[in-house]
Amino acid sequence: MKLTPDLLIAAYAQGVFPMADDTGAISWYDPSPRAIIPLDAFHVPRRLARTVRGGRFDARFDYAFRAVVEACAAPAPDRDSTWISPQIIEAYAELHRLGIAHSVECWRDGQLAGGLYGVAIRGLFAGESMFSRERDASKVALVHLVDRLRRSGFRLLDTQFLGSDHLLQFGAVEIPRARYKALLAEALNASAIF
């Protein structure tokens, strides 16, 4: 099945997202519980706030989208496989060209140190993945993302799964599927531009 922009947009609008297995086969997910970060309750730990204020990283938006997705797909010390297949990379690169998928990057000394990417549809931002090559780089990208989402009128930051304790420090919570679908409907009725 080809992941076309129309198919992906329709899936996100229903609360469904794709992931590839080790063979590259695409499966669709609609988890319950669903993890979100409430934008009005986003918490920045004190040490991280100092890092952000210190300006160690230069935060940019949509400057190196494909490089961010490829870095998210690369093997890491804590995992040797990825759900981000070549087909997923191409599909989200097309969404980026259409202005629907976005990246937040943290740069240091001209090098990409970390970042994240996701999909923005009206008032929904569905975070897909993040990576760090330097301590706190992806966390700083998340802080900049949330600031932009708040200023732009977004209503919902979907993180899909809680995964580890990493997102808990920012106020991430798990909610039942029905609650997620209600929040999604509200977000899709909002007017927000990334």
Residue 153 pLDDT = 96
Tokens of 152: 């732009």
pLDDT in tens, the chain (194 residues): 789 999 999 999 999 999 999 888 999 999 999 999 999 999 999 999 999 999 999 999 999 999 999 999 997 666 566 889 999 999 999 999 999 999 999 999 999 999 999 999 999 999 999 999 999 999 999 999 999 999 999 999 999 988 667 788 899 999 999 999 999 999 999 999 99
Residue 81 pLDDT = 66
Q: Which of 101, 177, 118, 188 minimizes the C-alpha distance to 153?
A: 188
Three-point CA angle 147, 150, 154, nearest 5°: 130
Q: Which of 89, 113, 112 minimizes the C-alpha distance to 24?
A: 89
Domain boundaries, the chain: 5-188
User: Which class is domain 5-188?
Assistant: alpha beta
